Amino acid sequence: MSLLDEVKFDDRGLVPAVVQDAENGQVLMLAYMNRETLKETIGGDRPVFWSRSRQSRWVKGETSGNTQRTVEILYDCDADALVIKVEQKGPACHESYRSCFFRRVNRDGTTDIVETKQQG
Amino acid sequence: MSLLDEVKFDDRGLVPAVVQDAENGQVLMLAYMNRETLKETIGGDRPVFWSRSRQSRWVKGETSGNTQRTVEILYDCDADALVIKVEQKGPACHESYRSCFFRRVNRDGTTDIVETKQQG
């Protein structure tokens, strides 16, 4: 059975994809794929996502130059989530942090920024 | 502003939480939280999730003994995804793999199991 037939897309036709730095394991971002962009991701060199806000296909770095190269694609026991290990060029976050997960929540509910912004 | 007011829950009232091994960075599972279980997670020692299938609160390891201790909680630029770094006791996956992401998708669409089952 093909993965495309096995994956359980949600009621929006999407599956979440955790994008992880292949080198050091840092979680860089969480994005979504539909059937078409997952197919394109499996067959290609870079992950292709579906933007929920713009309702369109998108590839990280097409405008910013901060591109990703797919190293490994994993999927989970329920076939309703993906991990994409990538080589990330520059910051993954549009706010110039390496990872979109640059804020920490403390036990008292306050938050801290735990990364520094990158150049380029 | 409290994180609970900042987080954008989806139309089901949920936010995805990437659970990551605090020790080696492995992504262990992807689960969901609602406002109540996120609040409980922030104030507590272990992550608390919302089961979409059972429509109920759940804590990993309550039946299996394969518990998680929260080490760090991160959230992303859009405030619509979380990373929970944990100390994971035993396998995180109910199929006895350390990670739920134990299968790899190859470029030709075939899949391989990339982990070995654990005891206990």
Average pLDDT over residues A7-28: 97
Q: A31 in a domain, yes or no?
A: yes
Q: B103 in a domain, yes or no?
A: yes
Helix, strand, or coil (residue B17): strand
B:43-102 residues touching chain A, CB 8 A cutoff: 43, 72-78, 81, 83, 93-95, 97, 100-102
Q: Is the dihedral of CA B41, B47, B48, B52 positive or negative?
A: positive
Domain of residue B9 covers 3-113
Q: B84 in a domain, yes or no?
A: yes
Cβ neighbors of A5 (< 8 A, separation 6 or more) are none
Q: Tens digit of pLDDT for each residue in B8-46?
A: 999 999 999 999 999 999 999 999 999 999 999 999 999
Q: Across all residues in chain B, what is the average pLDDT? A: 95
Q: A88 in a domain, yes or no?
A: yes
Q: A28 in a domain, yes or no?
A: yes
Q: Is residue A3 very low, low, confident or very high in pLDDT (cuts 50, 70, 90)?
A: confident
Q: Is residue B109 very low, low, confident or very high in pLDDT (cuts 50, 70, 90)?
A: confident
Say which CATH number the domain at B11 has: 3.10.20.810
- Return the residue of B nearest to A82 by Cα: B101
Please tell me whether the overall predicted TM-score, pTM, comes out greater than 0.90 for this model. yes
Q: Is residue B119 very low, low, confident or very high in pLDDT (cuts 50, 70, 90)?
A: confident
Q: Is residue A109 very low, low, confident or very high in pLDDT (cuts 50, 70, 90)?
A: confident
Q: Tens digit of pLDDT for each residue in A24-73?
A: 999 999 999 999 999 999 999 999 999 999 999 999 999 899 999 999 99
- The C-alpha angle with vertex B13 and arms to B7 and B18, in degrees rounded to 5, equals 60
Q: B80 in a domain, yes or no?
A: yes
Predicted pLDDT of residue B1: 64
Average pLDDT over residues A106-115: 92
Q: B118 in a domain, yes or no?
A: no
ipTM of the complex: 0.96
Predicted pLDDT of residue B18: 98
Residue B81 in this model has a pLDDT that exceeds 90 = yes
The number of folded domains in chain A is 1
Tell me the pairing of strands B68-75 and B56-58.
unpaired
Q: B51 in a domain, yes or no?
A: yes
Question: A with B: how many residue pairs have Cβ under 8 Å apart?
Answer: 103
Task: Judge whether B27 is closer than 8 Å to chain A, CB to CB.
Answer: yes
- Distance of alpha carbon B53 from alpha carbon B50, whole angstroms: 9
Nearest residue, CB atoms, B3 vs list A2, A16, A109 = A109
Residue A99 in this model has a pLDDT that exceeds 90 = yes
Tokens of A76: 């989970």
Q: How far is B62 from chain A (nearest CA, A)?
A: 19
